[in-house]
Amino acid sequence: MPRPISVTVVLWVVIALTLESLLGLFGPFANSFLTPIAAQHGSSVPSVLWSGVGFGVAQVSLALLMFRGIAWARVVYVCVLVFAALGLLLKGGFLYITLVFILKSAIFVYVLFRREANAFFASGASSDNTGAGNTSAA
């Protein structure tokens, strides 16, 4: 079964937003943004930086696996999102960022678990997972 267009769009958005956040971690404002976070959590700026990099690499890797129709990657991705959301909620602060993250994640999870997406992931990695020629409005 070809990959639904909605799944393709969500996965590309996940990759784009993750790459944007990874670039932001190494930008000129990262240190001024990460220093209060590190101080609040009793850790160092490099540890916060590398945990962000690890989270980003995990997200991109899982998105690439989902492109291939690997169903467990979708479940692991949702688990990573849940743990990240819980971490943001429990640590407090940055309420706006937390709400945007939860809303974005809820939309992604909804699309990744729609009927068309379930059928794609249930079919496993097929030879035609490009989504080309798929005319359904998924």
pLDDT tens digits for range 20-36? 888 887 777 666 667 77
- How far apart CA 108 and CA 96 sit, in angstroms, is 18
pLDDT of 3 reads: 93
Per the domain annotation, does 127 fall within a domain?
no
- Write out pLDDT tens, residues 71-95: 999 999 999 999 888 888 887 667 8
* Number of domains the chain contains: 1
Per the domain annotation, does 97 fall within a domain?
yes
Per the domain annotation, does 70 fall within a domain?
yes
pLDDT of 138 reads: 43
Per the domain annotation, does 16 fall within a domain?
yes
1 vs 44, which has greater pLDDT? 1
Predicted TM-score (pTM) above 0.85: no
126 sits in the region (left: phi over 0; alpha: psi -120 to 50; else beta) called: beta
pLDDT of 124 reads: 76
The C-alpha R_g of the chain, in whole angstroms, comes to 17
In three-state secondary structure terms, 12 is: helix
pLDDT of 137 reads: 45
Q: Which domain holds residue 34?
A: 5-122
Per the domain annotation, does 77 fall within a domain?
yes
